[in-house]
Structure 1
């Protein structure tokens, strides 16, 4: 198999026989599906914007090699190496995200991007995978010994700080993901049930506040709650699902990609439904489900709290983003600018998610060295 025998003690040999191959293949397939759908939806968006026909395809391909390198390269690391690299990466990503508030590129009223040469990079995307590891380390360190450092409290302050910075961009969707990831980790670590109710109430209050503070949030909720309201992209997406049927119109034969401003990003799932059909969409959902289920099965056999909390955070991140994006496409949730992991166009998102996937694969490896400390 791939040239490695079971007695091969090289780094690659040990990696091949310990990595979760089902999860690895699922991630690679999702990346492949993403490139395919960028080829399908990208040219239509480029034509509508007056850009070169393969503008978005070429941009996405630039990030493909770094994404695959991160996916495989990081999955070789030990648990201790994952922790150390994530701490450094988190510090750099947080500083870069702060910089967007002062020198970020303004796109539709949001300053989430930094211009690097001819490319735009969204630093906050890189906060997500590194934040998962940092908070897992803090919580696990605090729980390891009685009287240890207040890991939960420090991680909570860190979470609030990040959410505050993201809200200033503003990026309410990213703030929601970060908060939910932290809550999932704390819940698995043993959150008191009374605090579960308190945090749920606080989350509802935060959404209520966002509704009144941010006009775009209010408009999206109002359109979702009022069936008679004009919701252009969602209506076109639902028409795409109907037109595609079970098997789709065929590659390149879709029409909705010419009508959806975000057909290559937030509504790429609708493009897939029209061209490849509902059955193909079910396959995509099954790949996300496979990743989550395999991760949960692996956690059942793990006794290192740090690893358990890391896996919890990554699975929550992948699962939540996928569920929200698909829910929006099906008009089950208010519209939100949240991409479909690995599939929607976006170089920063692709590389950052691949970093998270590489970390997850490293932590899921059988007989991987411990190192929650």
Structure 2
């Protein structure tokens, strides 16, 4: 056990980290590994691979995931900004490279091969993009002569253009929504709000009319006609699970559910462990998001407040989109469930998000000193 009187780096980290936050993230990681035993074997069988092929790979991914989560949580706010800048620059460069040299999967070029590993750069772009935009918004708030808002808009345009070119409209929508939420918290005027809402509506309409697969998914969702096999099967798995599920390994619908270990792992969890298990999982995601918002509410530094809100919002919206697709409340979209779905890039990138959140919500000694100094200044000195 680490003593409070110790002053080493690990002791300082242990007593300043939000340990409840950390445990919540580790619970999600453990739940994802547990569900991989249920969701992965059917997919491996369909591909002619050993039953536990994806389970073993998931276990391997846990090592860099946990290492990234813990390592990033040691950073100071300044180090978070610098790390985010480096990650963002590399991610954007790899996203450009993916358009020309990337592996094409289902008509999209989102992956690049680095040292024999397949990486999706856009996953790492998201947390870094949020941190850098939070810094730009905060700098504009402190120094009006700094065009931070303009730079943030330009950065959003660059990122959105690369995502649309892949194409990955789901990530484009997620990134834009988080950016808009941060811009609103930064003190945006009503003129900007209505302007951005109109621009967003126009962008959605343009995407619907320009991309055939987007139009087909929206039409299938609205009318229920066409190829709805995936979402229908996912809903069937959820219904079959009832309240308490069929039991670990006893799921039947999961054997015919495509992408059961990635996009539709939530449905597999519902079939084998029940609706109550899924409700608890949703509450865990909600707890993380609202705890992040609560930290941000108490934060006086604009950069930290905006970054924590943005990272929490991204974590929550990505979770919500995946779950809503499984429940057929949204058109089908290939988006992973954070820390639950299989995928190396996704797991490590979400660990970056979680690590940044833990780093920015740590209790800083200098913050406590400022608070004590402020309290002393408010207490009148005794008369001599």
TM-score (norm 2): 0.93
| Cα-Cα RMSD | 1.2
Highest Rg: 1 or 2? 2
Native 8 Å contact 2:237 2:254 kept in 1: no
Q: Secondary structure at the match of 1:111?
A: strand
The equivalent of 2:239 in structure 1 is: 242
Whole-Å Cα distance in 2 between the matches of residues 357 and 29 of structure 1? 13
Alpha-carbon distance change, 95 to 293 in structure 1, aligned in 2, over 3 angstroms: same
Matching residue of 1:43: 41
Q: Judge conservation of contact 1:247–1:276 (CA < 8 Å) in 2.
A: yes
Q: Distance in 1 between matches of 2:34 and 2:207?
A: 36
Deviations 1:293-349 (A, max 9, x none): 111111121110000110111011101001111111111111111111111111100
Q: Quick one: structure 1 residues 369 and 98, their matched pair in 2 at CA, closer, same or farther if it must change by over 3 Å?
A: farther
d(CA) in 2 for partners of 1:62, 1:215? 37
Whole-angstrom distance in 1 between the partners of 2:212 and 2:257: 22
Q: Do the aligned residues in 2 keep the contact of 1:78 with 1:369 (CA within 8 Å)?
A: no
Change (3 A) 1:33 1:234: same
1:269-348 equivalence runs, <5 A? 269-348=266-345
CA distance in 1 between counterparts of 2:257 and 2:116 reads 25
SS in 2 for 1:190: coil
Counterpart of 1:52 in structure 2 is 50
Q: Is 1:254 paired with 2:262?
A: no
For the structure 1 residues 228 and 165, does the alpha-carbon distance in structure 2 shift closer, same or farther, using more than 3 Å as the test?
closer
**Structure 1 residues without counterparts, runs of 5 or longer:** none
Residue 230 of structure 1: CA displacement?
A: 3.8
Query: 2-side partners of 1:44 and 1:64: how far apart?
Result: 21
* 1:64 maps to which of 58, 62, 65: 62
1:56-95, Cα deviation, whole Å (9 max, x unpaired): 2222222211110111111111111111111111111110
Q: Structure 1 residues 194 and 49 mapped into 2: Cα distance closer, same or farther (>3 Å)?
A: same
Query: Residues of 2 paired with 1:248 and 1:195: CA distance?
Result: 48
Deviates more, 1:175-184 or 1:224-233: 224-233
Alignment partners' CA distance in 2, 1:74 and 1:6: 22
How many residues in Structure 1 have an aligned counterpart in Structure 2? 367
Partner of 2:78: 80
Alignment counterpart, residue 89 of structure 2, candidates 91, 113, 124? 91
The corresponding residue for 1:134 is 132
* Unaligned 5+ runs, structure 2: 368-384
Could you report, residue by residue, the CA deviation over 1:217-270 in whole angstroms, capped at 9, with x for unpaired residues? 111000000034441111111111111011100111111221111111111110
**C-alpha separation in 2, matches of 1:369 and 1:319:** 30
How big is each residue's C-alpha offset from its partner over 1:258-287, in whole Å with a ceiling of 9 and x where there is no partner? 111111111111000000101110111111
